Amino acid sequence: MNASFSIIALIGKHKNPEIGIPLLKLAEYLTAKNYTVLLDHLTASQIGSDKYPALTLEDIGAQADLAVVIGGDGTMLNIARMLVSYDVPLIGINQGRLGFLTDLSVDTMFKSLDEILTEKYITERRMLLYAEIIRNGVSVFGSLAFNDVVLYRGMSSGMIEFEVRVNSEYVNTLRSDGLIVTTPTGSTAYALSSGGPILHPGLDLIALVPVCPHTLSNRPIVIGPESVVEIQIQSCANVRINCDSHSCFDLELTDNIIVRRFPKTVRLLHSDNHSYYRMLREKLGWSEFP
């Protein structure tokens, strides 16, 4: 047993009935190796298990040495936001196609975890963003984002007009369908489909990616990690903001959106043969021929 990871929490994808079998197999496997296994209380109630202690995510953050997330990238995004303040290292296991964050497979999870638990792993530190909305001088919304903060139009057919400043310096006024403020982790998500650059996760950078801008010369721009992005709504019709497609908020005219780096980072563990570039080739179909 690896004394560094003596208490291991298992967290499954919410409301996924197929998560029970692999999760319980993994719990039995770890218990047989003398690890203490905890379950997220929502996962425990979902799979109907009372064999292992069921804790809230806050208690898991305070007690666990390691958290194993079984699901997809969306599940990992949610858990990472919840546990980032506790600095609990995370391992992602995907039931289906391997994800950018959940890069281990259910089929090989025992072998992969054995390697990691015998200290054959690499560690990644990944940055998050914090978005805040100021309305009439008062903070009315705040949320973490592991992937991105997205300004977008709701049911309106018109473009949004908004002003962008970085570190209080005026950058431009945009008319577009929206704006994506992305971390390196989110650069392979919505930002990628909007023409944004791929940022290596080892970098601490922020990218601003316009969504369908009215002026085609409005291109993505990459800025430093300590930059503070301010977005002020100039024209508004059903404009919204969301963080990781999770926390949403309706905006009003003259609202200010402030986006800055969150001071803490997410710690991800991978097998020591993990390659970000290999994952890009596999996920994006690079090096393939028609």
pLDDT digits 0-9 by tens, 198-214: 999 999 999 999 999 99
- What pTM was estimated for this model as a whole? 0.94
Confidence check: pLDDT of 268 > 90: yes
Secondary structure of residue 85 in the 3-state scheme: helix
Q: Which residue among the candidates 50, 59, 73, 148 is catalytic per the annotation?
A: 73
Radius of gyration of the chain (CA): 20
Helix and strand tally (H, E) in the chain? 7, 20
Q: What is the mean pLDDT of residues 144-166?
A: 91
Neighbours of 142 (CB within 10 A): 13
pLDDT digits 0-9 by tens, 65-92: 999 999 999 999 999 999 999 999 999 9
73 assigned to active site: yes
> How far, in Å, are 160, 233, 242, 243, 251 from residue 157 at the CA level?
10, 16, 19, 22, 16
> Domains, the chain, ranges and CATH?
3-127+265-284 (3.40.50.10330), 129-261 (2.60.200.30)
Confidence check: pLDDT of 155 > 80: no
Structure confidence at residue 256 (pLDDT): 96
Q: Distance between CA atoms of 21 and 36, rounded to whole angstroms?
A: 19
Query: Which residues are CB-contacts of 32 (< 8 A; sequence separation ≥ 6)?
Result: none
Sign of CA pseudo-dihedral 265, 268, 269, 275:
negative
Structure confidence at residue 154 (pLDDT): 76
